[in-house]
Copies of this chain bind each other. A is one copy, B any other.
């Protein structure tokens, strides 16, 4: 499976969320990460994140793509944050 993760968390927890998510995914933009992951890896990522975020205040949105080949990405403006584009 191919995962896109978008986070919207309190600024106090951004560094921790990013550090946790980068163990599993590539950082592509300020609050966006992506990557190929197994179902087990996805469960582990969610378990790790649940220990870092405040579920009453923060928000993490996942898009689970069956196959990234059905998806294309386009960017307008500057490339921010991420330095790990893989496609």
Contacts and interface: CB of A to CB of B under 8 A. Distances in A.
A67 interface: yes
Number of copies: 2
A65 B30 CA distance: 21
Contacts of A78: 55-59
Nearest to A45: B76
Question: Looking at A56, A58, A78, which has the most chain B CB atoms within 10 Å of its CB?
Answer: A78
B76 A60 contact: yes
B57 A32 contact: no
Contacts of A50: 76
Interface string A1-22: 0001010110000000000000
Contact of A59 (B4, B30, B49, B64): B30
Contact of A29 (B61, B80, B81): B61
